[in-house]
Amino acid sequence: MELTYRRFDPSEASEADALIAFLTADTWPFHGAAVVGADQARRWVADGRFDGGDTRTFWITDGNDTLGLVRLMDLGDSTPVFDLRIRTRYRGRGVGGQALVWLTAYLFAEFPAIRRIEGTTRQDNAAMRRTFRRCGYVKEAHYRDGWPAADGSAVHDAVGYAILRRDWLAGTTTTPVWDDEPS
């Protein structure tokens, strides 16, 4: 696969329609809402959730196929976060890893003030957790009961990962000092 990343253009009606179709045609088991309804998706687009002063969204494509979407948020901050969605039929094929490598390079190249990039996922999202590690991200946080299911039926632990600009530039990883509790 030769992935490309094309910026979402909210001024084009066809782009908004494509985004709504993308969000509603699949399930997103490790996101706040596993199923996104058309009305909700329309509100998100209308509210500027996918493009604005500190948010940029990119389609992940391979030729004419749309494989996924990456939304970069908090771009005015020194620590942005992201939302990565891969269509079910393309999961498990390395698309997420390639997208994570791309978004990391993009953010550090485009925004010199960014010191670190953070991502959070549910503890049971083993594939994304492996992807974070393979791409140089380090586990920095574990939030017990930190991710309630959208329907309120369960609460999951959440885990946070980050990559530092200096580690990315050097091709290294530095881990937090975990045993630093005062006596």
Question: N- to C-terminal Cα distance for the chain?
Answer: 53
Find the mean pLDDT for residues 75-100.
96
List the beta strands (DSSP E) in the chain.
4-7, 56-62, 65-73, 81-86, 116-122, 138-148, 155-164
Residue 150 scores a pLDDT above 80: no
Whole-number mean pLDDT of the chain?
94
Please tell me the pTM assigned to this model.
Answer: 0.93
Percent of the chain scoring above 70 in pLDDT: 100
Structural domains counted in the chain = 1
Q: What is the dihedral of CA 29, 130, 80, 138, to 10 degrees?
A: 140
Could you tell me if residue 28 is inside a domain?
yes
Instruction: Tell me the C-alpha distance between 164 and 141, whole Å.
Output: 15
Q: Which two tokens stand for residue 174?
A: 């530095």
What is d(CA 112, CA 103) in angstroms, rounded to the nearest whole number?
14
For residue 14, being part of any structural domain is answered with: yes
pLDDT at 168 over 90: yes
Would 179 be classed as within a structural domain? Answer: no
Helix (H, G, I), strand (E, B) or coil at 130: helix
In-domain check, residue 75:
yes
- Give the range of the structural domain holding residue 147, as residue numbers without chain letter: 4-170
> Has residue 176 been placed in a domain?
no
Residues 15-56: tens digit of each pLDDT:
999 999 999 999 998 887 888 999 999 999 999 899 988 999
Q: Is the pLDDT score of 100 beyond 90? A: yes
